[in-house]
Every structure is written in structure tokens, then in C-alpha cells.
Amino acid sequence: MAHPAVRLTAVTKSFGTAPAVRNLDLDIAQGEFFALLGPSGCGKTTTLRMLGGFTTPTSGSIHLDGVDVTNHPPNRRDVNTVFQSYALFDHLTIWDNIAFGLKRRGRPTAEIRERVGEMLDLVQLGDMATRRPRTLSGGQRQRVALARALVNRPKVLLLDEPLAALDLKLRRQMQVELKQIQREVGITFVFVTHDQDEALTMADRVAVMNGGVVEQCGAPEDVYERPASRFVASFMGTSNLMTGVYSGGTVTLDGDVRLPVAQRTDCADGSTVSLSVRPEKIWLSDFEPGMVRVTGVIRETVYSGPTTTYLIDLAPGLRVAALEQNTARARREDRWEGGEEVELGWRPQDCLVLA
């Protein structure tokens, strides 16, 4: 990446003696939709605030479009921020809210009219230009906040959990719309969220943060399918995490359950490892040759419309979840019930050994 839109080099931010972000190196490409993902307190919002100039790093450097802005205030950085609260001016119309930044910069009236019109069309609010923010729905206010930020044509747009206040159905709709808008305008988006579905749905790349460091950074599919650590496996969706002892291609779990796994040259015999198997990777019928197969007892059945989740005990204290799609092929008149013994299996490559 010869000339990234954003480059953080050895960035650390401490509050007193507590480091919020630790020695962070990160490059974000021009025109990329990049997500900072993690639980509360992981350092993602602090990182975003340092990018926006609202917080100064304790050490390290920040470059935007090749320019060192480490000590520049927000008004000297070619970035805009969309906050969770939207921060719209209720006494102004939608048109005036969007035009606010351009007027502050003294842009010509004709240019303001043209660019505001373009933004209203982009966010599909052209017929609401004369209304006040308080008369709009949450999703509409979110679009206004986005248009107000984009009308200034920043090099980088920072988004601090802008969908968090929306209900589930609207949030999913806005995820798709926000990604479409980003593709249309071609601006680099840096999106902070604690919602794994948002990151998987929208981002070109995801950085999973924990304790002030990035534990894994990559394409959403890579991070989900091939987590680099136990934390990433547990935070990205749902995973069956089991602890055992590795020895020559076999892991022995509690209850003396032995499972064949892929050989790991970086795991010494006798070392403690974690196994990760996603519930949707577990089969309960129609097994393929070469699958790892074990026997368990159904303890709970959870019907969720499109899917059914079975909680299965492999041994006392060793429980896994298996998820089945309720398709025409898989649907049964009588699903397995608690107490029934079942056989389950998975492809060897779907069981990850995490040191």
C-alpha cells in the first residue's frame, strides 16, 4: 500500500497509567470501507478520536493522505465525523443543516446549491429539504448527518457507531444503504462498531481490537472463517470453544474425548490449546467420508424460525451447539428432543486449533 489514506505508526494512547491503545500500526487504503470492531473499552473509539484530532496520541504518528497530522487540530484535517447522536441543528431545515459546513467555508452560493442538491439526491431526501430534523425518523436523521459530512468531500469519513440508536430492522436496512453510498462517493470510511453483523455486512476489511491492540485484521470472511485467536473466534459470531491437550494431531478434551485435528508444528505435544468449531459447521446427518464424528446427547432444542439450534453434551461439562437451517431438505416432523442420543460430525478443516 504505497500511499494509504490513513497510516498509524506505533500509536499509543494512555490515560494516566492505563493504556487505551497500545503500539498500533495500521494502514487503510484509499476508498476502503474499514471497520474497527471490538467490545466496549477495547480502544476503537479512542483510535477514531485520534484520527479525528479530538485526542492526541501519547506516542506514535498519524498520517492522512501522506501528511503527518499527529498534532493537527480537527479543523486542519481533511476528515469529517458522523456521531451516534447525529448532532443536527433542530432550528435549521434539512437543507441548511447539510449546507452548514459549506457556508462556514464561504463557498459560492451556486456551488452550495449544487452540492447540497447532490447530497439530498444521494440520501434520497430531496422532498424533505424544508423540514426540520425533529420531524424525521431515526433513519432519516442518520441520512442527514451522513449528507452533512459528505457534502464537504473529506478525504476520510469517520463514523462512530452511527447506527446504534436504530431498531434492528432499520439498522439492517441502513447497513446496506451505507455501503452503497460509500461505493458511490468513493471516500474512505473508517467505521467503529461493536456489532459483528455490521462489520461483516459492510466492511472491506475488519480490525478486531481487544485490550488496546488489534488481534486480527483482514477481510470479513478471513476473520470469521480463520480466527487468529480464541478471543476473535468467540467475538466474531458464535463458536464452540473447547480446551484440551494437543499431542501429534489429536486433542484430548475433558471427559477423555479425543478428536483428530490438523497437525500444528507450532504446538508442542502436551501443550494446552483451544478448538473452535462454528455451530453451522456441525452436521447431524448425511455425513461425508473423512468427517470427524462423535456421539452426544441432546439437552436443548431452540427453534428460531429459519434455524434450529441443538445444545449437545459430548461428555459431562462438555457442551456444543449445532445449528441447522430449516430448509425443505432438513425440516422434520419431529425434531430431536432432549435426552436423545445423536451422532454429529464436521470436516477436519472446520475445526481450528488455536494456541
Q: Which three cell numbers stand for residue 188?
A: 474512505
Q: Do 206 and 263 belong together in one domain?
A: no
Q: Cα(147)–Cα(158) distance, rounded to whole angstroms? A: 13
Whether residue 292 is contained in a domain is answered as: yes
**Single residue among 206, 230, 254 that ends a domain in this structure:** 230
Whether residue 134 is contained in a domain is answered as: yes
Give the pLDDT mean for 230-242: 93
Give yes or no for a contact between 347 and 288, defined as CB atoms under 8 angstroms apart.
yes
Coil, strand or helix at 149: helix
Q: Do 198 and 276 belong together in one domain?
A: no
CATH code for the domain of 136: 3.40.50.300
Q: Do 123 and 221 belong together in one domain?
A: yes
Give yes or no for a contact between 280 and 312, defined as CB atoms under 8 angstroms apart.
no
Angle at 319 between CA 278 and CA 214, to 5 degrees: 45
Q: Do 134 and 224 belong together in one domain?
A: yes
Q: Do 277 and 195 belong together in one domain?
A: no
- Segment holding 145, helix H or strand E: helix 138-150
**Single residue among 179, 210, 230 that ends a domain in this structure:** 230
Asked whether the predicted pLDDT for residue 3 surpasses 60, the reply is: yes
* Per-chain mean pLDDT for the chain: 90
Whether residue 121 is contained in a domain is answered as: yes
Q: Which three cell numbers stand for residue 244?
A: 484440551
Q: Do 136 and 173 belong together in one domain?
A: yes
Strands 352-354 and 79-82: unpaired
Q: Which three cell numbers stand for residue 18?
A: 492505563
Poorest-pLDDT segment among 255-264, 305-314, 328-337, 343-352: 328-337
Give yes or no for a contact between 129 and 95, defined as CB atoms under 8 angstroms apart.
yes
Count how many domains the chain has: 2
pLDDT at 211: 94
Q: Cα(159)–Cα(77) distance, rounded to whole angstroms? A: 15
pLDDT at 332: 54
Q: Do 73 and 201 belong together in one domain?
A: yes
Poorest-pLDDT segment among 53-67, 82-96, 181-195: 82-96
Q: Do 200 and 330 belong together in one domain?
A: no
CATH code for the domain of 266: 2.40.50.100
Q: Do 146 and 31 belong together in one domain?
A: yes
Residue-wise DSSP of 262-308: ---TTS-TT-EEEEEE-GGG-BSSSPPTT-EEEEEEEEEEEE-SSEE
Asked whether the predicted pLDDT for residue 13 surpasses 90, the reply is: yes
Among 191, 184, 201, which residue's Cα sits nearest to residue 84? 191
pLDDT at 249: 84
What do you get for the CA distance between the two ends of the chain, in Å? 30
Whether residue 79 is contained in a domain is answered as: yes
Whether residue 125 is contained in a domain is answered as: yes
**Single residue among 176, 210, 230 that ends a domain in this structure:** 230
Q: Which residue has the higher pLDDT, 264 or 93?
A: 93
Q: Do 201 and 270 belong together in one domain?
A: no
Residue numbers of the domain that contains 348: 242-354
Residue 189 dihedral angles phi and psi, to the nearest 5°:
-110, 130
Whether residue 1 is contained in a domain is answered as: no
Over the stretch 278-332, which tens digit does the pLDDT of each residue have? 999 999 988 999 999 999 999 999 988 888 899 999 998 899 999 988 875 555 5
Whether residue 23 is contained in a domain is answered as: yes
Q: Which three cell numbers stand for residue 266?
A: 507450532
Q: Cα(348)–Cα(56) distance, rounded to whole angstroms? A: 47
Q: Do 226 and 250 belong together in one domain?
A: no
Q: Cα(150)–Cα(79) distance, rounded to whole angstroms? A: 10
Whether residue 235 is contained in a domain is answered as: no
Asked whether the predicted pLDDT for residue 219 surpasses 90, the reply is: yes
70 pLDDT band, cuts 50/70/90, is very high
Q: Which three cell numbers stand for residue 105?
A: 467555508
Length of the chain: 355
Q: Do 282 and 314 belong together in one domain?
A: yes
208 pLDDT band, cuts 50/70/90, is very high
Over the stretch 119-176, which tens digit does the pLDDT of each residue have? 999 888 888 999 999 999 888 888 898 899 999 899 999 999 888 877 888 888 888 8
